[in-house]
Each structure stands twice: as C-alpha cells, then as structure tokens.
C-alpha cells in the first residue's frame, strides 16, 4: 500500500475485520460473541504506527485468540488446564501435521469457507472440548506451531502450569483423528 493510499488502507482494514470476525467465530462458535470480541480487539490492541501491515494484523490475531481463550475459559472454568503428561498416548495419527490425517490446508480452508461440508466442519468444531477447538483453529487455520499455540493458551487462560509444545501436539493429533473420522463417516 503506497503512502497516502487511503482507499487501500480502508480495504485492508475491512479485510482484516472480516478475517478477525471469521477467526473469532471459529474460536467461539457464536457469531454475536465473535462480533463483540472483534470490537473489543480493535479497541484494545495497540498498533505500532511504524510496524508493517502484516505485523499489525498478526498482533491483532494474537490479541483476539488470547481474548477468545480467556472467554472460553471463563465459560468453562478449568477447560484450559494443561493435561497431565500421558505415557505414550495412542492416537490414530502419528504426526501432528494435517497431511498425516489425509487433509490438506487448502481442504480445511475450503471447508471453513462453506464449500463442500462447511456446515459439517463447523458442527464438528462445536462438538470439540474448548481446548481442543482452540488448538485446532490455531494450528490448522492460522498455521501456528505448537510453541506459539502453547503460549497463546497460557496467556489467554492464565493456566499454571503452562501448556507445553508436546501437550499441544497431542491434543492437535486427537482433533485431527476426530476430524478424519468425521469426514470418513460423512462420505459413507
């Protein structure tokens, strides 16, 4: 965006607001709460006027996700308590990568946009425990790694002890197993 490009700035702001709303709706599952969260995020987030557009948007994403986790934790106290370390928990997927579940990032985005089984995917998200939902959205939709996701869970929920990268990975694998299973059964 060129200096003085007000129209481009307005368009970017609108695109960012839509992205934040979609993200909030995926995290919370409620459009009304999502709109309120976006409003508070826009009002609360400090944007460095010297930062790049992408840095400002990323700052808003992080703020929104942490605020969504706080709201989810408030609605379900204890939902974001870090799980106890498990001894070699068995899951249907060995790796915490979307492709390990036979799903591409592009397929996830298409499903979330409503193509194909968009309603089914949103219904599936509604069935997940709060922490699993938050982890899935951060890892699969935002593409954040385990460390960034663990940090946002700890910051948003204030849970002690904080989440570890390994715990996030395990919960994400469980969500991937659940999604793969739901998609297979939907095709049957």
- What is the domain extent for residue 105? 98-187
Going residue by residue through the chain (188 aa), what tens digit of pLDDT does each one get?
A: 445 555 566 777 788 889 999 999 999 999 999 999 999 998 998 877 788 888 889 999 999 999 999 999 999 999 999 988 765 555 666 656 666 556 666 776 666 666 554 567 788 899 999 999 999 999 998 999 999 999 999 999 998 888 999 999 999 989 988 887 877 777 65
Three-state secondary structure readout of 141-175: HCCCCHHHHHHHHHHHHCCCCCCCHHHHHHHHHHH
**pLDDT confidence of residue 61:** 95
Q: Is residue 85 part of a domain?
A: no
Q: Is residue 1 part of a domain?
A: no
**pLDDT confidence of residue 9:** 64
Domain termination site, one of 14, 41, 75: 75
pTM above 0.95, yes or no: no
Q: Is residue 52 part of a domain?
A: yes
Q: Is residue 144 part of a domain?
A: yes
The CATH number of the domain holding residue 172 is: 1.10.10
**pLDDT confidence of residue 177:** 85
Token readout for 136 is 């899935």
Looking at the structure, do residues 14 and 63 belong to the same domain, yes or no?
Answer: yes
**pLDDT confidence of residue 165:** 94
**pLDDT confidence of residue 7:** 59
Looking at the structure, do residues 51 and 102 belong to the same domain, yes or no?
Answer: no
Vertex 159, ends 157 and 164: CA angle to 5°? 105
Helix segments in 29-52, DSSP class H:
31-44
**pLDDT confidence of residue 124:** 86
Looking at the structure, do residues 53 and 22 belong to the same domain, yes or no?
Answer: yes
Token readout for 23 is 């993200």
- Count of domains for the chain: 2
Q: How far apart are CA 64 and CA 42, in angstroms?
A: 9
Vertex 88, ends 145 and 169: CA angle to 5°? 10
Q: Is residue 50 part of a domain?
A: yes
- Residue 134 parent element (H or E): helix 130-136
**pLDDT confidence of residue 5:** 52
**pLDDT confidence of residue 1:** 47
**pLDDT confidence of residue 99:** 63
Distances from the Cα of 35 to the Cα of 18, 42, 129, angstroms: 10, 11, 22
């Amino acid at each position: 965006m060129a200096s003085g490009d007000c129209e481009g700035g307005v368009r970017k702001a609108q695109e960012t607001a839509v992205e934040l709303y979609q993200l909030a709706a995926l995290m919370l599952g409620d459009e009304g709460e999502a709109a309120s969260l976006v409003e508070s995020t826009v009002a609360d987030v400090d944007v460095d006027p010297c930062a790049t557009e992408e840095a400002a948007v990323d700052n808003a994403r992080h703020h929104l996700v942490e605020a969504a986790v706080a709201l989810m934790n408030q609605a379900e106290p204890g939902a974001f308590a870090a799980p106890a370390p498990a001894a070699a928990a068995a899951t249907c997927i060995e790796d915490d990568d979307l492709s390990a579940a036979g799903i591409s990032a592009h397929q996830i985005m298409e499903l979330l946009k409503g193509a194909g089984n968009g309603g089914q995917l949103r219904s599936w998200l509604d069935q997940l425990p709060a922490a699993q939902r938050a982890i899935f959205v951060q890892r699969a939709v935002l593409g954040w790694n385990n460390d960034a996701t663990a940090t946002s869970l700890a910051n948003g929920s204030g849970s002690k002890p904080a989440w570890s990268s390994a715990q996030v990975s395990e919960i994400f694998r469980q969500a991937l197993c659940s999604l793969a299973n739901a998609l297979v059964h939907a095709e049957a």
